[in-house]
């Protein structure tokens, strides 16, 4: 028979009140259901309820993460239902993170970053072209014979850089254009305008 848990009201906004059971009662219900072992897959070690700080502190984990429940339209009561909570060490709870469990109760693999170190990112960059300085020395409509690059960077090519007092903010650009103080037409828009006889 399921244990009845008394609830308290918790005010979250002026217009919305949510009802949540006190932590001690939630913990007692979870111990009665699951025992005193950490419920993180692969851990299963005994929980020490006397630890109040550190990686072995006992925490309440939302087995189906709160963000997923909210996205699915769950109510506050469904998100905080005892059936969606498990006891875990703090370190195990952090290890689980925001992952949504698979149907068989296992956790999906963490998504790893493609590049972990800066040197790995740099290794995939193309070699520097010393002829055109990677397009920075090229004028309008020029193409480097060595690397086939056009003027770079595309939005603010070096050949079009001007002093702010001499800049027309259309064909040429200055520091005010580059940081958005002065509105400037995009490269595609400029090509279309110039091709159709625009200013």
> Taking the CB of residue 39, how many other CB atoms lie within 10 A of it?
22
| The three-state (H, E, C) secondary structure of the chain, written as one string | CCCCCCCEEEECCCCCEEEECCHHHHHHHHHHHHCCECCCCCCCCECCCCCCCCCCCEEEEECCCHHHHHHCCCCHHHHCCHHHEEEEEHHHHHHHCCCCCCCCCCCCCCCCCCCCCHHHHHHCCCCCCCCCCCCCCCCCCCCCCCCCCCCCCCCCCHHHECCCCCCCCCCCECHHHHCCCCCCCCHHHHHHHHHCCCC
- Look at residue 16 and tell me whether its pLDDT is greater than 80: no
Residues 62-94: tens digit of each pLDDT? 898 888 888 888 888 888 888 888 899 999 988
**pLDDT tier at 166 (50, 70, 90 boundaries)?**
confident
What global pTM score does this model have?
0.48
The vertex-51 CA angle with 47 and 52, nearest 5°, equals 125
Give the per-residue pLDDT at 150: 80
| Domain residue spans of the chain | 8-96, 161-195
Q: Which long-range contacts (CB under 8 A, 24 or more apart) does 104-109 make?
A: 105/41, 106/41, 107/41
């Amino acid at each position: 028979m399921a244990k009845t848990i008394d609830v308290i009201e918790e005010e979250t906004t002026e217009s919305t009140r949510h009802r949540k059971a006190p932590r001690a009662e939630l913990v007692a219900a979870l111990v009665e259901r699951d025992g005193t072992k950490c419920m993180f897959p692969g851990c299963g070690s005994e929980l020490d309820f006397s630890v109040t700080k550190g990686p072995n502190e006992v925490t309440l984990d939302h087995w189906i993460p709160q963000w997923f429940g909210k996205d699915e339209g769950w109510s506050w009561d469904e998100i905080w239902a005892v059936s969606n909570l498990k006891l875990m060490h703090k370190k195990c709870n952090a290890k689980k993170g925001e992952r949504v469990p698979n149907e068989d109760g296992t956790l999906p693999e963490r998504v790893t970053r493609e590049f972990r170190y800066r040197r790995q990112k740099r290794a995939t960059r193309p070699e520097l072209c010393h002829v055109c300085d990677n397009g920075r020395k090229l004028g309008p409509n020029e193409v480097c014979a060595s690397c086939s690059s056009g003027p770079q960077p595309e939005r603010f090519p070096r050949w079009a850089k001007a002093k702010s007092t001499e800049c027309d903010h259309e064909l040429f650009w200055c520091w005010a254009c580059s940081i958005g103080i002065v509105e400037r037409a995009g490269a595609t828009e400029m090509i279309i305008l110039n091709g159709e006889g625009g200013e």
